[in-house]
Structure 1
Amino acid sequence: MDQVSKKIDLVENTEIPNLFPKNQWYVCALSKELSTEKPLARTVLNTNLVLFRHHNGQAVALEDRCCHRALALSCGTIEDGGIRCGYHGLLYNETGKCIEIPGQEKIPTKAKVKAYPIQEKNKIIWFWYGSDEHPTPNSEPPEYAIHDDARYVYDGDVYHYDAPYQLIHDNLMDLSHLGYVHLKTIGGNANVHMNAEMKVEQEGNTVKVVRHMPASEPPPTYQMAYPFKDKVDRWQEIVFKVSHITIWTGAVDANTDKLDDPQRQGFHMRGFHGITPETETTSHYFWTIATNPSDPEKAEELKATVVQQTKDTFDEDRIVINEQYQNMLKIPNQNMIDIHVDVAANRARRIIKELLQAS
């Protein structure tokens, strides 16, 4: 096995099987990506999908392969009845059944492709990655009500990483790097970040991290987006689940609100991070960022600012993570030490490792 095909466990520096936790909902698209006009090809969890909307608006996921001569259905066109292959015109409905073969009345019973269970919820398209025992969902997709909360405006995008998905988890679970990687956006004083009070809790397969940085300087993004008076009390709340991470960050003017009050005011940035493996060594990163406009008349302007600042931040992260992984391949099988900021990321890795071992 070559180094590119290996998946590296940074907790114990050992190789683990090339698997992903099953019986989970993973993000396969943002709602805005799917249309009735053009199919979308996407590989998630080593599964080749063609995604599109039926004429009634339903999100559909089929195997991206015509059963006739194997052309990707994503090379075809969407019609009222389903998706038509771009080679010989076979038409498939939303269940994957071929319902028309041009020039031929009889349709073979084997003329079909696999349809995959997906659900659309809160403007997110979720893909069920099931086991042999649970090929169909045994739970509902996660809830992310922020996308439907009138207090917030949001937008997002999809990034591709040439790196394993758990390296992205590591990055998001440890925000101490902000003071070094994101100086021009959401960073701030590196010393404050590294010494921030941090609490890590675990319940089942969920890990929560809370970090407070009282009386600190607001970073550039915060200053652009909110009329802070001077120093701020800043918070970071990170919640890890196997298929996605949510991060609520923000700040209030120093000594004006309690950072443990769930209804606290000030400037909010609520991030959704759907990290889905494409393969063992590549990943999709579906993200959105929501913010609460201090001036409703400038909501769109604020949204544009925060979204662009977030893109700039994630561009910086992607460079670091891709370079990190390439260096791991160049210098393989080297031990890595842990420091105090790694507690939450290590817990997340252990959760995934335990799920893999149990499967």
Structure 2
Amino acid sequence: MNTSTLQQLAEEIPAPALPSFPLNQWYVAALGWELKDKPVGRTLLNKPVVLFRKANGEVAALEDRCCHRALPLSNGTLEATGIRCGYHGLLFDDHGKCVEIPGQDKIPSKAKVPAYHVREQDQIVWIWFGSDAQPEPSCEPPVYSVHSSGNYLFDGNVYHYNAPYQLIHDNLMDLSHLGYVHLRTIGGNASIHMNAQMNVESEDNVVRVVRHMPDSVPPPTYTAAYPFKGNVDRWQEIEFHVSHLRIWTGAVDAGTDTLDNPDRGGFHMRGFHGVTPETDTTSHYFWTIATNPASDPETIKAKVVEQTILTFDEDKEVIEAQYRNMCRFGARPMIDIHVDVGANRARRIIEQLRQSSV
């Protein structure tokens, strides 16, 4: 067979289809306190998954489909040895193996469902989505010591978005919008936000955006939670990872500390943002917010959580309206401005990892 024939055959073989999302990654599947005495069904990266907590406290994840008559296993019940289908009572262990069929002694060897690698770390439940070439986890899930250090009080919840997950990335990577979208909560002066000193760095698959707003008026959320004396020196530090973002924001009384001091005082809000695709056009947004109350800790934590929920409600409304309009107008070009640097770098990382996931 000559070279031209080989080349012709190669051209006729279709290239492997690219996955919709980067694979060989840990993604957030749930917050630890969601998994109690009932299974939780959730679509993650286009895959229907059932999550549940075993009798020993560990978490497990299976394909959300009974191999008998296809009822979602999330419609079933939990028992000491696994999850029981709510249709005919087949019982599956955490590896997806059927261990009991009511009224039948022999269990067929094909009576099993696919199982996922899942880990709970710092009250965050992570699930591994690997490629065909790398189905086993190549590393442990991320550590988030804010939840386990004892230095912060925190709480959180889950949002469902009718929008692609990268629109949520874009929103979180660009906090200049706070002065326009979040006037009632964490906003503040819009001009200061748009003109804030900003530094963007990237290393490997991480993008870091740091913004400083010295001598600015504290927004409503800050004054509700902390006894500031007047204007504040305010910071926003955003760290993008493929499966989640970490955002540290806060303020000190103006001129009382340096914003480069990692141990600075003042009011802190540390946000964890697990952004996991549900489908190509819908998303799960797992969030927690941690803070360091100066007094009356439970009351202040409740205020911060309440204000955070108001903020995220505002973001959700904007992002879903944005996506509806994108669908309405189709593939129309959009311009970039100076605040888009971090989000654009994050999008390039996502695309590079998607390309390498085949």
TM-score bracket for the superposition, by shorter chain length: over 0.9
Cα distance in structure 1, aligned partners of 2:57 and 2:281: 33
SS at match of 1:78: strand
Contact 2:19–2:354 at 8 Å: present in 1 too? no
**SS state of the match for residue 158, structure 1?**
strand
Cα distance in structure 1, aligned partners of 2:19 and 2:107: 39
* Match in the other structure for 1:170: 170
Separation in 1, partners of 2:186, 2:226:
13
Quote the offset at 1:358 in angstroms: 2.1
- The equivalent residue for 2:261 is 261
Q: Distance in 2 between matches of 1:126 and 1:305?
A: 28
Q: Distance in 2 between matches of 1:51 and 1:330?
A: 36
Distance 2:141 2:132 in 1: 19
Deviation of 1:17 after TM superposition, in Å, equals 5.5
Query: Cα deviations across residues 131-182 of structure 1 (Å, max 9, x unaligned)?
Result: 1121110111011100012110000000000000000000000000000000
SS at match of 2:29: strand
Q: Which residue of 2 aligns with 1:347?
A: 345
TM-score scaled to structure 1, two decimals?
0.94
SS at match of 2:309: helix
* Structure 1 partner of 2:10: none
Matches within 5 A, 1:197-208: 197-208=197-208
Taking only aligned residues, the RMSD between alpha carbons, in angstroms, comes to 0.9
Q: Helix, strand or coil: the match of 2:160? A: strand
Give matches, 1:276-287, under 5 Å: 276-287=276-287
Q: Which amino acid is the alignment partner of residue 64 of structure 2?
A: D
Whether the aligned pair in 2 keeps the contact of 1:78 and 1:84 (CA below 8 Å) is yes
Give the C-alpha shift of residue 261 in structure 1. 0.3
Corresponding residue number in structure 2 for 1:309: 307
Report deviation, 1:31: 0.1
Deviations 1:213-248 (Å, cap 9, x if unpaired)? 000000000000000000000000000010000000
C-alpha distance in structure 1 between counterparts of 2:172 and 2:228, whole Å: 26
CA deviation string 1:306-352 (max 9, x = no partner): 00100000000000000000000000111100000000000000111
The higher radius of gyration belongs to: 2
Cα shift at 1:33: 0.4
Shift of 1:120: 0.3
* Corresponding residue of 2:94: 94
Which sections of structure 2, spanning at least 5 residues, go unmatched? 1-16
Counterpart residue number, 1:135: 135
Question: How far, CA to CA, are the matches of 2:74 and 2:87 in structure 1?
Answer: 11
Residue of structure 2 in register with 1:227 after alignment: 227
TM (normalized to structure 2)?
0.94
Checking the alignment, whether the CA contact within 8 Å between 1:51 and 1:61 is kept in structure 2 is yes
In the TM superposition, residue 18 of structure 1 has moved relative to its aligned partner by 5.7
Q: Which residue of 2 aligns with 1:4?
A: none
Structure 1 position 30 matched with structure 2 position 28: no
Change (3 A) 1:126 1:40: same
Following superposition, the deviation at residue 19 of structure 1 comes to: 1.0
What is the distance in 2 between the residues matched to 1:279 and 1:114? 19
Question: Secondary structure at the residue paired with 2:159?
Answer: strand
Number of the residue aligned with 2:63: 63
SS in 1 for 2:48: strand
Stretches of 4+ aligned residues off by more than 2 angstroms: none
Distance 2:85 2:284 in 1: 26
CA–CA separation in structure 2 for the residues paired with 1:18 and 1:230: 51
Is contact 1:18–1:280 with CA below 8 Å preserved after alignment? no
Whether 2:356 is the aligned partner of 1:358: answer yes
The question of whether the paired residues in 1 share the 8 Å contact of 2:158 and 2:286 is answered with yes
Is the 1:188–1:217 contact (alpha carbons within 8 Å) kept by the matching residues of 2?
yes
Number of paired residues? 341
Give the unaligned 5+ runs of structure 1: 1-15
Separation of aligned partners in 1, 2:131 and 2:200: 31
